[in-house]
């Protein structure tokens, strides 16, 4: 799953230094591995539909437009001027692509942390699964404005750590294991301004099976 980040980010960096005649490959909206109503009652069908088909699609469109403009740019200044759009929309595309697959219906893998390497690591670094969720919720809720809460793996310290990123910045300091979108579009239609209710609910649809796969790729 971490290959998503590499596959999305590396072509963008390569094209940034490509000649003006280079043609940017189109990014596309990934299909969800479940239906829009599959995460109810924890995340509504309305939110999932809008979040995926409107918000994520907007990041995909913005990234494609910025990369197309970059491929046609003729000066260094033009390339520099496009970097913020590439970073913002590229980050949004990467983050959401990771987000969809670290969710699963509660009738399936959602919300279930099985015995195994990830559970052992969570208990080692946070004491218990419940203590981990409380810490993750607290740090994610404390984000000022929009952003993401992450459970990341620090390759230097070989530790699981909770990290936050602002806006649509992807997680670069750690390998992403679990990501939680705390932008208002992810919860406001259902939970209004009560972030704690959304954060408590989302654990019922967190795909710990996928999270463990990501963990085993990097640990």
pLDDT of residue 10: 43
Report helix angle 57-72 to 76-101, nearest 10. 150
Residue 30 maps to a domain: no
pLDDT of residue 61: 98
Domain limits at 191? 117-218
Q: Which residues are annotated as a binding site for Mn(2+)?
A: 51, 96, 181, 185
pLDDT of residue 120: 99
Residue 198 maps to a domain: yes
148 three-class SS: strand
Q: Which residues of the chain have pLDDT under 70?
A: 1-25
Residue 171 maps to a domain: yes
Residue 174 maps to a domain: yes
Contacts with 170 (C-beta within 8 Å, 6 or more apart), sequence order? 5, 9, 90, 91, 94, 95, 176
Q: What CATH number is associated with residue 156? A: 3.55.40.20
Please tell me what DSSP assigns to residue 109. T
Residue 200 maps to a domain: yes
Q: Which residues are annotated as a binding site?
A: 51, 96, 181, 185
Number of domains in the chain: 1
């Amino acid at each position: 799953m971490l290959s998503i980040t590499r596959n999305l980010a590396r072509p963008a960096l390569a094209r940034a230094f490509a000649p003006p005649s280079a043609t940017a490959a189109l990014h596309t909206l990934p299909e969800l591995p479940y239906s829009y109503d599959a995460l109810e009652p924890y995340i509504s069908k309305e939110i999932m539909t809008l979040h995926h088909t409107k918000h994520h699609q907007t990041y995909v469109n913005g990234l494609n437009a910025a990369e197309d403009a970059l491929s046609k740019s003729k000066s260094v200044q033009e390339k520099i001027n496009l970097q913020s759009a590439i970073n913002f929309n590229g980050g949004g595309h990467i983050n959401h692509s990771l987000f969809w697959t670290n969710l699963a219906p509660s009738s399936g893998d959602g919300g279930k942390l099985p015995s195994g390497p990830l559970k052992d690591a969570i208990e080692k670094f946070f004491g218990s699964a419940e203590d981990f969720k409380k810490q993750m919720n607290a740090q994610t809720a404390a984000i000022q404005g929009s952003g993401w809460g992450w459970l990341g793996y620090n390759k230097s310290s070989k530790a699981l750590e909770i990290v936050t990123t602002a806006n649509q910045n992807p997680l670069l300091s750690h390998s992403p294991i679990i990501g939680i979108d705390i932008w208002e579009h992810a919860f406001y239609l259902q939970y209004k301004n009560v972030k704690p209710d959304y954060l408590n609910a989302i654990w019922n649809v967190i795909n710990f099976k996928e999270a463990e796969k990501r963990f085993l790729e990097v640990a």
